Amino acid sequence: MQKFIPLVLFFVLIVFFFGCSQGNRNDLNSNDTNGLDTNSDQNNFQTDCNKLEQEIKEELNSVNYCEEDVDCVVWQQASCPFGCYNFVNKNADLNPLKEKIVQYNEECELCLYECTPFEEKLSCENNKCVQVLSDVINANLDDLFKLKKGQTAVIGEKDIEITFLDVLEDSRCPEDVVCVWEGQVKVELSVSEKENEPESFILTKKRDFDELGVKHFGGFTVELVKVVPYPNTTIEKGDYIITLIAIAK
């Protein structure tokens, strides 16, 4: 009888270890399944945010309607990533849109860029509200002035015309993100003095490289002071506003 006791204990130990091993496998499988469920939930969350963003954009488009210029107003509550300026009918019901935008800001990834006050006029064209850009603005030497893409500043004292042609690059780090490289923004401009042919040139805004944002001419210097908005999601080139100064030598 004593010979069988060690043998029985041996089989008991085998059964015990086998049971523990099987239990660990089940726990691992359960953890794997939970991990897959978590990934699935994250994917669904992202998909819902994308869907919500698309719904908001479609509704913003649907409330942009008009029959005459006075129907059009600027609505800036949507902001990033839906554009700095949204043009809507003054009588449109915006409450459903406001609720969705609040939901988006609370549940989805936020983006930030700086928007300047809207200073242009609106007109009704083809039953849609559109911005009316003044092609030419007046500016003074040694004073800051702002240009949107396509606009020209006329500086009367020197018969200088400075035109904002294009944004060539914008790799700046968004304000709400930590980046390894801060990036830069490049804009193309043209300048003409008196009746001379326009000369195109590029100014770059980059930290610690101020000289890249300055261009010297015969009797004056043009300096790029600021470019807004900061990059994030989708920014139309028409949203960009640059601040310049022309300094007399």
Can you give the CATH number for the domain in which 192 is found?
A: 2.60.98
Asked which of 69, 99, 129 is the last residue of a domain, the reply is: 129
Q: State the residue range of the domain holding 122.
A: 61-129
* Mean of pLDDT values over 224-240: 80
Which pair of tokens denotes residue 6? 């060690």
> Is residue 204 included in any domain, yes or no?
yes
204 — phi, psi (to 5°)?
-120, 130
> Is residue 5 included in any domain, yes or no?
no
DSSP state, residue 157: G
Asked which of 98, 113, 129 is the last residue of a domain, the reply is: 129
The pLDDT value given to residue 180: 79
79 and 121 fall within a common domain? yes
The pLDDT value given to residue 129: 94
116 and 213 fall within a common domain? no
> Is residue 69 included in any domain, yes or no?
yes
- 185-216 pLDDT per residue, tens: 999 999 998 778 899 999 999 989 999 999 99
pLDDT bracket for residue 115 (50, 70, 90): confident
pLDDT bracket for residue 4 (50, 70, 90): very low
Asked which of 99, 129, 159 is the last residue of a domain, the reply is: 129
Distance of CA 221 to the CA centre of its chain: 31
152 and 104 fall within a common domain? no
In one-letter notation, the amino acid at residue 188 is E
The pLDDT value given to residue 29: 52
154 and 65 fall within a common domain? no
- pLDDT exceeds cutoff 90 at 72: yes
145 and 243 fall within a common domain? yes
pLDDT bracket for residue 81 (50, 70, 90): confident
The pLDDT value given to residue 46: 53
The pLDDT value given to residue 105: 85
> Is residue 117 included in any domain, yes or no?
yes
150 and 241 fall within a common domain? yes
88 and 183 fall within a common domain? no
Considering the entire predicted model, what is its pTM?
A: 0.54
The pLDDT value given to residue 11: 54
147 and 103 fall within a common domain? no
DSSP line for 28-86 = HHHHHHHHHHHHHHHHHHHHHHHHHHHHHHHHHHHT---SSGGGEEEE-SS-TTS-S-E
> Is residue 237 included in any domain, yes or no?
yes
222 and 148 fall within a common domain? yes
> Is residue 201 included in any domain, yes or no?
yes
What totals of helices (H) and strands (E) does the chain contain, helices first?
2, 13
145 and 244 fall within a common domain? yes
Number of domains in the chain: 2
- pLDDT exceeds cutoff 70 at 13: no
* Mean of pLDDT values over 179-184: 83
The pLDDT value given to residue 157: 67
- 26-52 pLDDT per residue, tens: 554 555 545 545 455 555 545 588 899
DSSP line for 203-249 = EEE-TT-GGGGEEE-SSEEEEEEEEESPP-S---GGG-EEEEEEEE-
- 51-69 pLDDT per residue, tens: 998 999 999 999 999 999 9
> Is residue 228 included in any domain, yes or no?
yes
The pLDDT value given to residue 195: 75
Report the percent of the chain where pLDDT is more than 70.
76
106 and 154 fall within a common domain? no
The pLDDT value given to residue 194: 79
- pLDDT exceeds cutoff 90 at 247: yes
The pLDDT value given to residue 114: 66
Which pair of tokens denotes residue 139? 């500016």
99 and 161 fall within a common domain? no
- 116-139 pLDDT per residue, tens: 777 778 989 889 998 887 788 899
> Is residue 21 included in any domain, yes or no?
no
